[in-house]
Structure 1
Amino acid sequence: MKRKFTGLLSLLSVFAIIAAGCTSASGSQQGSGAAKQQSITAVGSTALQPLVQEAATQYMNENAGATINVQGGGSGTGLSKVVEGAVQIGNSDVFAEEKDGIDASKIVDHKVAVVGFAPVVNKDAGVKNITKQQLIGIFTGKITNWKQAGGKDQKIVVINRAEGSGTRAVFEKTALDGATTVKAQEQDSSGTVQKIVSETPGAISYLAFSYINDKVQALKVDGVEPTEDNVKTNKWEIWAYEHMYTKGEPKGLTKKFLEYMLSDEVQTNLVPKLGYMPVSQMKVERDADGNMTNKSGK
């Protein structure tokens, strides 16, 4: 009986050693997988979202195991979430210093592109060029019919971006000279704005160049066309840097992805393809207070 019991203990010991070996091997594999698998999230500007999304897709295709989640929500959301540490990257159309309630000292700015914005109207409004004062009058509710701006006898329908939108902040500051816009329908997404303007008679709003297509009419302002060449010299004043903010200096996958955003692969190919401009091509610089300086040698 004692011999059988001893044999049973020996057998159990062998099973225990084998099980321990399997557990150890399994744990080693999981640990190795965890080391390879990395995930980050970028949230914020819908104007910048198409570029970040496309770059993220390319990066993940070239780097197995990396996961980059890209979401919209507006610049205000991107800035607040990165300050909180809830996401690794906060995308914004505006400097953090321009946003109330954001402590810019806690985050680091990475400018990855420049984007122009333009007022856009429904193609049946009968308008292709307006003055800046007319534009301000429309968005402040003083001009309510397109006939007052050289167009058809048609009611103007203002479509605004939501509070917290960087696109809205840029447009109000650079196109409307800081004027407060009239109460109107508000939308969170640039894509939704484009669709509504294209389908609503008399509609007017504003979009990043990257969202403008032949379904809407982009307006000249005081005879100046909304083109990249005019943005580069500030002849067209409605533009902004596209920022990707991090909480402190970036590390790991966040750092690698931001380096990729600034690489030739993205800046030379993807940025212009999607309707943005490399920061390096600008002939002027603008700071958070709106002060302009000419770049030397440009």
Structure 2
Amino acid sequence: MAVTELSDPALGDCLDTRSGIAVREDTGGHIGVIDLPKVPLNRGEHYKILAILQRSDGDGAYRPPVLLGSLRGGRITETRSRTGVPRVMLALTAFLVAVIVGQFAVAVLERPPTPLDCAEGALRVIGSSAFEPVIRDAAAQYGRRCHGTTFSFEFAGTERGLDRLAQAGPDAGLIAIGDGPKGPGYPALRERALALAVYGVFVHRDLGITDLTVAQVRDLYQGRITNWRTLGGPDLPVVLIDRTPGSGSRVIFEQALLGGEQPPRPHRSCTAIKDTAGTYCDVPVTEDMHQAVAEIPGAIGYGELAEARRAGMAVLTLDGVAPDRTAAIAGRYPFRGVEYAYTHGDPPAGSPAASFLHYLTAGLGTEVLRAHGNEPCAGGRLEPGRCAPTG
């Protein structure tokens, strides 16, 4: 027990230890008693007593404290310590929890609004097999942002893609991807440069060859070098793996390394020459090129650099320069080309084709192109004229 508040400090003299204020225990009833003395109080004066009650023994419910006494011309005000949360606070807390849960449910269940540059509908992408992994990845990233577009693909080669697009007419749901420019045979097609792509020359891993000059590559594909022994390799005949005519990768290869052409050769299946003495075959798509070079002893081939490395091919340096994006941008590495996207005329604004092309050339799709080892033509790092098949 303690006196905690006095309206007038002079009242303290009436409540000191000599005044009779005390705490005692009624031993017979096991009851604690607080004795308060007579204190003269004027109107408006008061004092406060703090009493802390503690059970001494026993259990179960206990009787509440009892106040005995009276005041002349005044009143006794009793205050209690209240534990627990007030009902008003409980109600307010429950209301706020309900609001938060409701907002979370709306955020989870409500479909996010379609971004302004997205479009709904179907889009089919065809053409270059060399750029297939890049386009599939870009389409997947685009689809996470634009939920209303559905994609389908057919990567059977640049020429087949351009032919299909030209025959389809002004179809807003069709885009063709090509390695290099389309040439004069497709006047109705509209081309957009996507990226400077890096290509590589690779050989069968057992050859042990790690570097060739551009002149040596040219001599190999011109038929002037027919045995790897001539280039310091094993005594094995050279087996040239080529892409079929109409391949954009083949066009880039011929322009960048062969001076624009190579001797005409009849088509031969790479599967058919595996157990023969054949020294040449061609394949329709990039994946078949990787397989043929890996399986045929003495084989040499070419293709898009990032995918060749993912396939585990033994990629060569050319004239001592390792193939990479930086060397290609600087012009030190010669085997490079431009990837294009083609439409039949300009696609209508708001169409899936227009939206996806914008994503590839000016949106987040440029980062997908860069992640696959290419340099976007709209990335700002290429000098004017560098976004061309031979620089």
- TM-score, length-scaled by structure 2: 0.60
Q: Is 2:364 the partner of 1:278?
A: no
How far is the alpha carbon of 1:286 from its aligned partner? 4.7
Q: Aligned AA for 2:340?
A: H
Q: 1:200 matched to which residue of 2?
A: 296
The whole-number CA distance in structure 2 between the counterparts of 1:182 and 1:118 is 22
Classify 1:130/1:241 alpha carbon distance in 2 versus 1 (closer, same or farther; 3 Å).
Answer: same
- The match for 1:21 is none
Match of 1:94 in 2: 180
Structure 1 residue 62: Cα displacement: 2.7
Q: CA deviation at 1:288?
A: 6.8
The within-5 A match list for 1:127-146 is: 127-146=209-228
Number of the residue aligned with 2:333 = 236
Distance 2:136 2:146 in 1: 15
Q: In structure 1, how many angstroms separate the alpha carbons of the residues matched to 2:199 and 2:149?
A: 32
- 5+ residue gaps, structure 2, are 1-118, 266-279
Is 1:216 aligned to residue 316 of structure 2? no
Q: Which amino acid aligns with 1:69?
A: S
When the two structures are superposed, what TM-score results if normalisation uses the length of structure 1? 0.78
| CA offsets 1:229-279 (integer angstroms, 9 cap, x no match) | 1110221121111100111112211101111112442212x2222222222
| Structure 1 match to 2:359 | 260
Cα distance change, pair 227–37 in 1 and its aligned pair in 2 (3 A)? closer
**One-letter code aligned to 2:127:** G
Task: Select which of 281, 294, 303 maps to 1:185.
Answer: 281
Distance 1:135 1:221 in 2: 9
Residue number in structure 2 paired with 1:112: 194
Residues of 1 paired with 2:142 and 2:386: CA distance?
30
Cα deviations by residue, 1:105-133 (Å, 9 ceiling, x for unpaired):
x1211112121112110111121111222
- Hey, what does 2:135 align to over in structure 1? 52
SS of 2:355's equivalent in the other structure is helix
Supply the distance in 2 between the matched residues of 1:62 and 1:288 (Cα, whole angstroms). Answer: 31
Indicate the SS of the match to 1:81: helix
Amino acid at match of 2:239: V
8 Å CA contact retained: 2:195, 2:387: no
Whole-Å Cα distance in 1 between the matches of residues 388 and 364 of structure 2? 28
| Counterparts of 2:370 and 2:144, CA distance in 1 | 21
Say if 1:287 and 1:63 are closer, same or farther in 2 by CA, change over 3 A.
Answer: closer
Gaps of 5+ in 1: 1-35, 293-298
User: SS of the counterpart of 2:364?
Assistant: helix
Percent identity between the two aligned chains? 25
| 1:158 matched residue in structure 2 | 240
Bigger shift: 181-190 or 124-133?
A: 181-190
Superposition CA RMSD, Å: 2.1
Change (3 A) 1:227 1:173: same
- Give 2:342's aligned amino acid: Y
Larger radius of gyration between Structure 1 and Structure 2: 2
1:236 counterpart letter in structure 2: Y
Judging changes above 3 Å, is the alpha-carbon distance between structure 1 residues 263 and 288 closer, same or farther for their aligned structure 2 residues? closer
Moved over 6 A (4+): none
Q: Is the 8 A contact 2:359 2:366 kept in 1?
A: no
Residues in 2 aligned to 1:186 and 1:207: alpha-carbon distance in whole angstroms: 13
Distance 1:185 1:289, change over 3 A: closer
Report the Cα distance in structure 2 between the residues aligned to 1:46 and 1:205, rounded to whole angstroms: 15
Structure 1 residue matching 2:190: 3-state secondary structure: coil
Alpha carbons of 1:288 and 1:215: their partners in 2 closer, same or farther (altered >3 Å)? closer
Aligned residues between the structures? 251
Structure 1 stretch displaced more, 57-66 or 169-178: 57-66
Partners of 1:149 and 1:182 lie apart in 2 by: 24
Q: 3-state DSSP class of the match of 1:109?
A: strand
The structural deviation recorded for 1:163 is 0.8
Specify the SS of the correspondent of 1:96. coil
Contact map agreement 2:193 2:387 (CA 8 A) in 1: no
Distance 1:157 1:243 in 2: 31
Query: What letter corresponds to residue 187 of structure 1 in structure 2?
Result: V
Q: Which amino acid in structure 2 is aligned with residue 204 of structure 1?
A: I
Which residue does 1:12 correspond to in 2? none
